[in-house]
Amino acid sequence: MAGEFGLFYEIPVPRPWHERSEYNAYHDVLAQVVRGDELGFSHFWTVEHHFLSEFSHCSSPEVLYGAVAALTKRIKIGHGVRLLPFPYNHPIRIAEMAGALDIICNGRLEFGTGRSSTRDELEGFGIDPLQTRELWQEALEMIVGAWTNDVFEWKGTRFQMPPRRVHPKPIQQPHPPLWMATSSPAGHEVAGKAGLGLLSFTIGVPPAELAFRIGLYREGLKEAKPIGKVINPRAATFTMVHCAETDKEARENAEESVLWYFKKSISLIAGLAAWQEGRELGSYEYTRALKDMNLETFSYDLLDDMDAIIVGSPETCIRKARAYFETGCDQILCLMQPYNIAPAKVMRSIELFGQHVIPAFKN
């Protein structure tokens, strides 16, 4: 069974902070992606998040990607994701930055898109949650148009632009692969119907449920009306990953960070439902159930027993990864630094994956 592995980063910066905390976090990421490139990871992905202290300090991923492009040779560089609702980013500026990045990295850009799902970010930028789906779609249509037309103009619901040449263009033809992130079952079908690659950000979801959601995506693909010029039929799924020489050591290294990340991410998304109390949630309806979730009932053992995480020795990681690929996913997005695992242990996890796990899933 073949499958790809991508390195995925939020770039957490745990407290207590000092003047070099963020510096160290970013330079640890750069060292790890260089090693990951050498060891056969197919992709490097990061989020775009704003205001999420400790959880993610990755607010300008395009700057980081320029450094990654210069330091690596083969690994694909993925927005996981670029936030499209305005005013996070204007679609023409997104098109320009992505075009420049695709040139600099010699056609290695993978363009993941999303809306965001936290109160901190949406409220911070003055964005109405009920408008994000429409803002996302119009922005993505504009970006594709700006990439694929010599002269581009737009007369839409949210944006108006007279005829202009948008420079630079990506070097990939007809454009970089397009992806969509989602955390809800309904979003999986939306991604398929739009002809977009799937980034399934399903935290704490076991492979059996993941298989159902990927099935929704594949059904959507059958009736796709692609936003891009071509369909990207690949499915990738996120999970927390840590590999050590033994299961015992892997758990000792990762348990605190796995639980911290799981609870923090759920509480951040649930905050949207609490913020919108008494109002229709639209495509964010799934956050209502998260608001009522008792996080104290979740333990490391529960997540591990469900195979909702991939933590263990190389042999254990191979077994657990196989269960993910059997769901029909094409790539596992490996969050190897959920919170506060020592950088040397993250690097060792990457090396063990490259030496033992990745080879087990080569054609």
- 237 vs 292 pLDDT, higher one: 237
176: left (phi over 0), alpha (psi -120 to 50) or beta: beta
How many domains, in total, are found in the chain?
A: 1
Supply the DSSP symbol for 237.
E
pLDDT at 288: 86
Average pLDDT over residues 191-217: 94
Averaged pLDDT for residues 2-12: 97
How far is 347 from 267, CA to CA, in rounded Å?
A: 29
143-201 pLDDT, tens digit per residue, is: 999 999 999 999 999 999 999 999 999 999 999 999 999 988 999 999 999 999 999 99
Say whether pLDDT at 45 is over 80.
Answer: yes
- In angstroms, the Cα distances linking 167 to 86, 149, 345 are 20, 11, 42
Q: Which of 4-13, 149-158, 270-279 has the lowest mean pLDDT?
A: 270-279
Q: What is the pTM (predicted TM-score) of this model?
A: 0.96
What is the reported pLDDT for 297? 85
In the predicted structure, residue 309 carries a pLDDT above the cut 80: yes
Pairing status of strand 160-164 against strand 152-155: antiparallel
Instruction: pLDDT band for 280, please (50, 70, 90 cuts).
Output: confident
pLDDT at 291: 80
Q: Give the CATH number for residue 316.
A: 3.20.20.30
Q: For the chain, percent helix, then strand, then coil, each to nearest 5? A: 50, 15, 35
Domain interval for residue 45: 4-361
DSSP-derived secondary structure for 186-236? HHHHHHHHTT-EEEE--TT--HHHHHHHHHHHHHHHHT---SSSS----EE
Give me the mean pLDDT over the 56-68 stretch: 98
Please state, in angstroms and rounded to a whole number, the distance separating the CA atoms of residues 306 and 61.
Answer: 32
What is the Cα–Cα distance from 11 to 2, expressed in whole angstroms? 28
Task: Kindly compute the dihedral angle of the four CA atoms of residues 284, 234, 236, 213, in this order, to the nearest 10 degrees.
Answer: 50
Higher pLDDT, 296 or 210: 210
As a whole number, mean pLDDT of residues 110-132 equals 96
Label residue 281 by pLDDT band (50, 70, 90): confident
Instruction: Specify the DSSP class assigned to residue 238.
Output: E
For residue 289, give every residue at least 6 positions away whose Cβ sits within 8 Å of its Cβ, in sequence order, or none: none
pLDDT at 292: 80
Distance CA 97, CA 62 (A): 7
